[in-house]
Amino acid sequence: MHVVILGCGRVGAMLASMVESEGHTVCIIDRDPESFRRLSEGFRGKTILGVGIDEDILRKAGIERAGGFAATTNGDNTNIMSAQIAKVRFKVSRVIARIYDPLRAEAYRELGIDTISPTLLGAGLCMDFLAARPWRSIEAYHAVRETHLLSPEPEGSR
């Protein structure tokens, strides 16, 4: 399978190594040339300097033959836009977007875009550890809907 990854931060770089180690081809896109230094020394995949919502950049990355796409930048808007492009425009079968804002992650999941929220996962894992509970499934952490956990910040709290 060919996988396109947007964002060569810690998560994107680690994911690229994992994908490659399982025998798949990978292309990783980032707008910062320095970010590619995070890739493992033996990385054999392709790197592309550019913006992941640009269809020409996605084509150069092999999106038209990709079986998977992961948007792992630190920007929720970029991740969701690129995921929508990959899924709708290029018909990539496995698309996931990392979305920090739990409310947005839930909204996009309801619209059919698969998301993962490190905010919900991290907080949930820490809470379960502190409460001496076994860890749950990713779906269980994403199902957290308590209002006090998902409410937006009050005005003036920043």
The 10s digit of each residue's pLDDT in 12-71 is 999 999 999 999 999 999 999 999 999 999 999 999 999 999 999 999 999 999 999 999
DSSP state of 142: H
In whole angstroms, how far apart are CA 125 and each of 96, 109, 119? 21, 21, 10
pTM: 0.87
CATH of 2-116, one of 3.20.20.10, 1.10.287.130, 3.40.50.720, 1.20.140.10: 3.40.50.720
Residue 46 to residue 104: CA distance in whole angstroms: 31
Six-digit token pair at 105?
């992650």
- Encode pLDDT of 72-114 as tens digits: 999 999 999 999 999 999 999 999 999 999 888 888 888 888 9
Query: Using CA atoms, how far apart are residues 25 and 44, in angstroms rounded to an integer?
Result: 9
Q: Where in the chain is the domain with CATH 3.40.50.720?
A: 2-116
CA dihedral 13, 17, 18, 21 (to 10 degrees): 170
